[in-house]
Chain A
Amino acid sequence: MSTVLRQQSPEQNARRARAAAQLREFMPRAAVLTDKEDLHPYECDGLSAYRRLPWIVALPDTVEQVGRILRLCHEHDIPVVARGAGTGLSGGALPLEDGVLLSLSKFNRILEIDTANRTATVEPGVRNLAITDAAAPYGLYYAPDPSSQLACSIGGNVAENAGGVHCLKYGLTVHNVLGLKFMTMDGELITLGGKALDIPGYDLLALMTGSEGMLGVIVEITVKLLPKPERAQVVLAVFDEIEKAGDAVAAIIAGGFVPAGLEMMDNLAIRATEEYVKAGYPIGAVAILLCELDGTNEEVSEGIAQIRTLLLKQGAAEVRTAKDEAERLRMWAGRKAAFPAIGRLSPDYYCMDGTIPRKHLAKVLARIGELSKEYGLGVANVFHAGDGNLHPLILYDASKPGELEKTEDLGGKILEFCVAVGGTITGEHGVGVEKINQMCIQFTREELAQFHALKAAFDPKGLLNPGKAVPTLSRCAEFGRMHVHGGKLVYPDLERF
């Protein structure tokens, strides 16, 4: 899908010029972008198949400016889309052709590392990994680690409730946020919590987390820091049948283990990865499982020995334990590079993000295999086995007429199958614009109406990030005739999950 460059009417142009002039009354000229070449970098987020040139980009650097921008937009009924680092994978920060794109990139300061209370208070534009870097000298770290953590911002993490590979043990973003300051669309600053473990009133911390920029604009975040585990150790198990690998995961959980990471890859993903990063994966394996334990030295040693025995009993053809830290990192390097590696197999790929109850893994993979044959498109699978989050990657060539449409169709079928076995259409990437039609499958009319009522409680005029996350009821009625375009990643060199 190419950039939408819709001609604006003279009235629209005048309206835009007026809005820009009003913004420049309290912001420097360089912080209000209106020229086409300045707007281009903001036309998409990590899901680059969706592009739209923003109307105006505003780059505030104080909370007061954010408040004034929002009040101005509120008064003149101008919609607003907040944007962090722009690494999101569902088009949540896709700009509007008649609204302000509010970039929070200048809010990049770490305000406080409180070692006594084990918290970090940061501005929303701070990168995820920068928090861990700042906490590291004190033996602390920030647990959620989406694989774009080098680039993605904590504000975006909160907006999307980002995950990572350690969710089973350490939770998602929602489990690690203690306080938020956000602005409502009418420019009121709301403070939720701080460094205590809970807040009075309704749990708006949980509600704001994962709300995809629909309820407020986050301007400050306090997160929990954890002590860095004394030791982490990983084992790699090789399987010749998917079912055996799935059963092994169940056996690990039933055995009372809560691994820090538990990841599975299928043969296509293994081969692509091995060719790309030489992680030492067995290219003949039907599936491999990476299982990491962390904790004290004693706990990890005891646990790893038991897991080895258990995996062999579950029919693993081979079980390797990383001999040293370098080998441990190499084993993970393969998994972390799986997306770009698979990207090399094909001109384009489309990444899905369904979550399923683990017990249905074999069934879901079998169904994906059938669909893959039926559509004539390859599908590689990487799987956060610990928490059931499946990322099928559909290989296609966008330059072949009709292939993108076929891919979207196949992707939609996979997500619908995830819902059918009791799962969900998105585990960690968010709905954004990408999965908005599948929301119609996962939720009833009444549930969607409840979402809309909830949104209106925060933003009665519907000006924050309109058209994302929750479909209108009429859109759902049209779903099927609608057509949306599938995703292609920008930043292909960034690790992805």
Chain B
Amino acid sequence: MKEDNDISQQLAEAVKAAAQKRTPLTITGSGSKRFYAGDIEGEKLDVTGHRGIVSYEPTELVVTARAGTPLAELEAALADKGQMLAFEPPWFGEGATLGGTIACGFSGPRRPYAGAARDFVLGTRIINGKGEILRFGGEVMKNVAGYDVSRLMVGALGSLGVLLEVSLKVLPKPAREVTLCFEMPADKAIQTMNTWGAQPLPLSAACHAGETLYVRLSGTELGVQAARAKLGGKPMDKGNDFWREIREHRHSFFQNDVPLWRLSVPPAALPIDLPGKWLIDWGGAQRWLKSDASATDIRMQAEKAGGHATLFRHAKQNGATFHPLPAQLATLHQNLKRAFDPDGIMNRVVAV
């Protein structure tokens, strides 16, 4: 294991120098999510050397770590105290870092019931495009001083600044978890997930794959037992492995080179009329589509359903990843980008 190390100053100097020369940068962690936005042109700014947990207070439910800290290390430290990152982040690679996770803003199966990556971010320390080290938010749950720049960084893919540190709210691991299986087609699964979602049940994941609805319950021993009795279904032996496979895209559904689309739609949206194979996660709100259909068709259908579509993996060409924004909203994005990065040297990725 590499040693903890604070190289903030060094990174800030590098950004400052790049800004002076107007050299574009590509912020680099372990590279585990490089598949997502395609190659970014620019001089490499490696943040993996900026690592280590800065503070962790289990009784405050807050952890602060440097961006280069491997998720593996962070999650192990939390598990040691019976706690977890409740947004269940996908790693997409053994070396996955905290910085890359937050910059991508990905969340796992627990997301519809516990919250997304951005919901757990309490504060960040960043380097903006001028090479200034700035701190926003903090290590407390409630903080409304100043604009919420920390959450703006989540999912911004390093286009607004370099993440140096992230403070996250953490939660206790549930005492008991059980996964139940129900044979049913997709349309009935969508309906069922949403019916249960409107009831006071300790749900923590719900996904439809193949012809089966998988539902995870999390909570106290008695609470889970009672909910299980209410729902019925067949308990799964290795529930944790199943959800990890879904989260990491190692489930057989994901195993081919057909373009993988992510449709983010209202959870109760009816099955969407597009050719291809579907895996429905997040209680209906995140739908994975393996399809060769045109980007135009897919995006149109996603919009019709009240959401948007992202070309997540296996893009046949570059530049088609993100759902295009309406003109006025795109202008706001460009203005924001300039406000943080006047010389345009940070990751050139967001589709604006």
Contacts and interface: CB of A to CB of B under 8 A. Distances in A.
A156 interface: no
B323 A200 contact: yes
Interface stretch (B19-27, B56-64, B231-239): B56-64
Interface in A151-165: 160-161, 163
A201 B147 contact: no
B202 A426 contact: no
Contact of B145 (A190, A386, A424): A424
A422 B138 contact: yes
Contact of A457 (B105, B227, B339): B339
A414 to B, nearest CB: 15
Contacts of B332: 184, 190, 204, 457-458
Contacts of A425: 145
B153 to A, nearest CB: 8
Which of under 10, 10 to 19, 20 to 34, or 35 or more describes the interface residues of B?
Answer: 35 or more
B144 interface: yes
B129 to A, nearest CB: 10
Interface in B96-126: 105, 111-112, 115-116, 118-119
A188 B331 CA distance: 11
Nearest to A224: B112
A461 to B, nearest CB: 13
Contacts of B141: 167-168, 355, 386-389
Contacts of A139: 198-200
Nearest to B112: A197
A62 interface: no
A427 B143 contact: yes
B143 A174 contact: no
Interface stretch (A36-44, A73-81, A94-102, A205-213): A205-213
A117 B305 CA distance: 12
Which of under 10, 10 to 19, 20 to 34, or 35 or more describes the interface residues of A?
Answer: 35 or more
A116 B197 CA distance: 9
A174 B340 contact: no
B249 to A, nearest CB: 18
A254 B58 contact: yes
A17 to B, nearest CB: 33
Contacts of A117: 194, 266-268
Most buried by A among B134, B146, B323, B336: B146
Given A206-B118, A426-B145, A450 B134 contact: yes
A194 to B, nearest CB: 5
B147 A454 contact: yes
Nearest to B128: A450
A356 B140 CA distance: 7
Interface in B253-304: 264-268, 282, 285-286
B80 to A, nearest CB: 13
A436 B109 CA distance: 41
A302 B328 contact: no
Most buried by B among A119, A161, A189, A196: A196
Contact of B200 (A119, A229, A256, A469): A229
Contacts of A189: 328
B184 to A, nearest CB: 17
B151 A207 contact: yes
A296 B226 contact: yes
Contacts of A220: none
A144 to B, nearest CB: 11
Given A199-B308, A439-B145, A439-B146, A357 B139 contact: yes
B138 A423 contact: yes
A374 interface: no
A456 interface: yes
Interface in B138-192: 138-149, 151-152, 154-156, 160, 171-173, 175
Given A194-B307, A195-B266, A422-B138, A453 B151 contact: no
Contacts of A191: 326, 329
A67 to B, nearest CB: 12
A450 B59 contact: no
Contacts of A297: 226
B116 A197 contact: yes
Given A190-B332, A295-B223, A227 B144 contact: no
A84 B142 CA distance: 22
B285 A258 contact: no
Contacts of B135: 444, 447
A346 B328 CA distance: 52
Nearest to A424: B143
Most buried by B among A116, A184, A358, A453: A116
B211 interface: no
A11 interface: no
Contact of A303 (B128, B220, B225, B339): B220
Interface in B305-351: 306-308, 310, 322-323, 325-326, 328-329, 332-333, 335-336, 338-340, 350-351
Interface of A: 114-119, 138-140, 160-161, 163, 167-168, 171-172, 174-175, 184, 188-192, 194-204, 206-207, 209-211, 214-215, 227-230, 250-251, 253-254, 256-258, 295-299, 301-303, 355-359, 384, 386-389, 422-431, 435, 439, 442-444, 446-447, 450-451, 453-458, 469-470
21 contacts: A114-B266, A118-B267, A139-B200, A190-B332, A197-B111, A201-B333, A201-B350, A203-B154, A207-B149, A210-B147, A298-B225, A301-B222, A302-B222, A355-B142, A389-B140, A442-B145, A450-B134, A454-B339, A457-B339, A470-B146, A470-B147
Given A184-B332, A358-B60, A447-B135, 14 more contacts: A118-B267, A139-B199, A197-B264, A200-B325, A201-B325, A201-B352, A227-B198, A253-B172, A296-B223, A450-B128, A453-B339, A454-B336, A455-B147, A457-B338
Interface of B: 57-62, 82, 105, 111-112, 115-116, 118-119, 128, 132-136, 138-149, 151-152, 154-156, 160, 171-173, 175, 194, 197-202, 219-223, 225-227, 264-268, 282, 285-286, 306-308, 310, 322-323, 325-326, 328-329, 332-333, 335-336, 338-340, 350-352
